[in-house]
Amino acid sequence: MAYNLLKGKKGIIFGALDENSIAWKVAEKVHEEGGSFVLTNAPIALRMGKIKELAEKTGAELIPADATKIEDLENLVEKATEVLGGKLDFVLHSIGMSVNVRKGNHYTDMNYDFTTKGWDISAVSFHKTMQTLYKKDAMNEWGSIVALTYMAAQRVFPDYNDMADNKAYLESIARSFGYFFGSEKKVRVNTISQSPTPTTAGQGVKGFDGFIAYADKMSPLGNATADECADYTLTLFSDLTKKVTLQNLYNDGGFSNMGVSQQVMDTFMKEEDS
């Protein structure tokens, strides 16, 4: 069901890779709600993923950009405002990668060059994106910038590895830059802390399937899907959330406020009884 929430609004969506990506679902829904946008991803992701299909389906222009490179971001913002015919109303940062996770390095046995690369891609790229938007005065007043995060920024999930540190850094950047963007340009900046979601990136984490099942049993409403995360993102892009900024917003079925659930207790009691 469409509400025309984003009629006439323009933006940039980072990070769509395939139909499992949250960014992909956001793009589809923004299109349904009357918004127009430019899609972007790193050149290698454009070759590997199916993003061209999404661009055709939504009538979006595709502009490659490595979000860790300022010159790429400057080119992206300049071209996006040109293609879309004016300043932007929304930006989605849906980028994250840990080389240590990919290479199977344990948290207690880091390759620090990989660590640096990981936080540059996953967190500092958000600062670089916002700094570029800010310096180019590319956002309309009451615009909205959203980044996707995960609760491992606050609590220990051992196999999430250094991505937990990356997400903590990302959330801090959102608050710090969000202050300047809000007070000087009336732009809001928030992060959405999503349930574990079986995206291409998420499935790289060891034991992920088991954790999804556990989180589902812990959450009174069950895990939020990628589709539901996209719906929530749309509300933050819309004019209905004009005064919501500097927030880390949980879209997790209630998981973040749970200590233990009856379902989880029942599972352990069964194990003890057997």
For the stretch 107-154, pLDDT in tens is 999 999 999 999 999 999 999 999 999 999 999 999 999 999 999 999
In-domain check, residue 2: no
Given 3, 107, 134, 160, the catalytic residue: 160
In-domain check, residue 4: no
Please state the rounded mean pLDDT for residues 215-233.
Answer: 97
Given 107, 112, 150, 169, the catalytic residue: 150
Beta bridge partners of 61: 38
* Reported confidence tier of residue 268, pLDDT bands at 50, 70, 90: confident
Please state the rounded mean pLDDT for residues 206-217.
Answer: 86
Binding residues for NAD(+): 15, 21-22, 95, 167
Question: What average pLDDT is seen over the chain?
Answer: 95
Catalytic annotation present for 250: no
Tokens of 211: 């954790």
Q: Is the dihedral of CA 179, 225, 55, 65 positive or negative?
A: positive
DSSP alpha helix (H) spans, the chain: 22-32, 43-48, 51-58, 70-84, 99-102, 112-119, 125-135, 163-185, 208-218, 226-237, 262-273
For residue range 80-92, what is the model confidence (pLDDT) as tens digits? 999 999 999 999 9
Binding residues: 15, 21-22, 95, 167
Q: Domain total for the chain?
A: 1
In-domain check, residue 1: no
In-domain check, residue 164: yes
pLDDT of residue 46: 84
Catalytic annotation present for 3: no
Determine the structural domain holding residue 136 and report its residue range.
Answer: 10-272
Q: What CATH number is attached to the domain comprising 21?
A: 3.40.50.720
CB 51 within 8 A of CB 17: yes
Tokens of 190: 């928030």
CB 193 within 8 A of CB 232: no
Q: Is the dihedral of CA 238, 243, 246, 252 positive or negative?
A: negative
